[in-house]
Structure 1
Amino acid sequence: MPLSIRLLAGALALAALPLHAAALPEQGRWITASGNLEVELAPCGDAWCGTVTKVLGNRSMSRPGQPLQAADSRPVLGMRLLTDLRPGADGKWQGRLYNRENGQTYDCELQLLAPDQLQVRPQGVAAMAGAQLWRRAAGETP
């Protein structure tokens, strides 16, 4: 087989690899804005998800300083807070964000602001105004 055909076949094979074939800067463990949870961003199926890997606290974001009264009684460990994440424009990711405090799921956008800062922004939601800044978990390397 000529070299040009082998190179073309190799390039096509690489293009067909799933999104998660190579590690992305967003991959890894992140601490939520409230400091309550450690969430791991990783491939799941043909997209990416954010799954709770550690519970660090129980503070409400809507009532700062108060204990969180979750609308969802399911155990939080192992819960997927971010689902169907896919790369979008300008280095941003689009997906869905689950809010434990009210039991609702919202469209969201993620953007890596710095190697240790991930902006999580709910889309079109008055109840969850503003973006959250998540920090990379200790010991994680970008």
Structure 2
Amino acid sequence: MMPRLVSRAAVLLVALFSFHAVASPAHRDRTASGDVTGKWLAQTQDGVFDIFHCGAEICGRLVGMDYEGPVPHDVLGRSQCDLTMLTGFTPQGDGQWQGKIFDPEGGKVYDAIIWSPSPNVLKLRGYLLGIPLLGRTQTWTRYTGHIGPACKMTK
């Protein structure tokens, strides 16, 4: 009974790691070593992030938003304009940077990986429990538009 259980566990582990290597979009297209710095339009097209070097790390702050009325605030009451939301990103090899991303509406901090597979594309994968498989990847594009006062994106 025990040898059969061990072999089933081994098969399950191999299948799980194989699935992760094939199915994970974060793993599949992290081969380029493009520059992740600059201004990036979020996938939802309602925010622009300025990603920059902060010492040996990469950081990012929200510098543009599409909103009506007063400037949006996070759950702690801070203005989202110029709010640093990406912190502590360190190089991991193959052009990947791993750090943390802050969700201003929920107040939670998630693990994240960023990389740029091509000059005008940035991938950001936020995940839970230190396991990239338990996450979601967004595709951001390089931003070339203008940002007005109070982080207002101009149309």
- Please give the TM-score of this superposition, normalised by the length of structure 1: 0.64
Structure 2 match to 1:64: none
Runs of 4+ in 1 over 3 A off after TM superposition: 68-72
2: CA distance, partners of 1:53 / 1:134: 14
| Aligned partners of 1:33 and 1:132 also within 8 Å | yes
- Please give the TM-score of this superposition, normalised by the length of structure 2: 0.59
Number of corresponding residues: 106
Q: Does 1:97 align with 2:107?
A: no
Q: Does 1:43 align with 2:58?
A: no
Cα 1:31–1:99 change in 2 (3 A) is: same
2: CA distance, partners of 1:104 / 1:38: 20
Cα 1:94–1:129 change in 2 (3 A) is: closer
CA-CA distance at 1:111 after TM superposition: 1.3
CA-CA distance at 1:91 after TM superposition: 1.6
What is the identity, as a one-letter code, of the residue corresponding to 2:115? Q
CA-CA distance at 1:69 after TM superposition: 9.2
Q: Does 1:25 align with 2:31?
A: no
Structure 2: any 5+ residue segments left out of the alignment?
1-33, 146-155
Per-residue CA deviation, residues 83-136 of structure 1 (Å, 9 max, x unaligned), is 01111122211011111221101110011122111110012269x841111111
Q: Does 1:134 align with 2:140?
A: yes
What is the identity, as a one-letter code, of the residue corresponding to 1:26? V
Structure 1: any 5+ residue segments left out of the alignment?
1-23, 59-67
Map 1:1-142; keep pairs closer than 5 Å: 25-57=35-67, 71-124=75-128, 129-138=135-144
Flag the structure with more relative contact order, 1 or 2, with Cα contacts below 8 A and sequence separation at least 6.
Answer: 2
What is the identity, as a one-letter code, of the residue corresponding to 1:84? G
Cα 1:70–1:129 change in 2 (3 A) is: farther
2: CA distance, partners of 1:69 / 1:121: 24
CA-CA distance at 1:40 after TM superposition: 0.6
- Greater fraction helix: 2
Amino-acid identity (%): 25
| Aligned partners of 1:97 and 1:108 also within 8 Å | yes
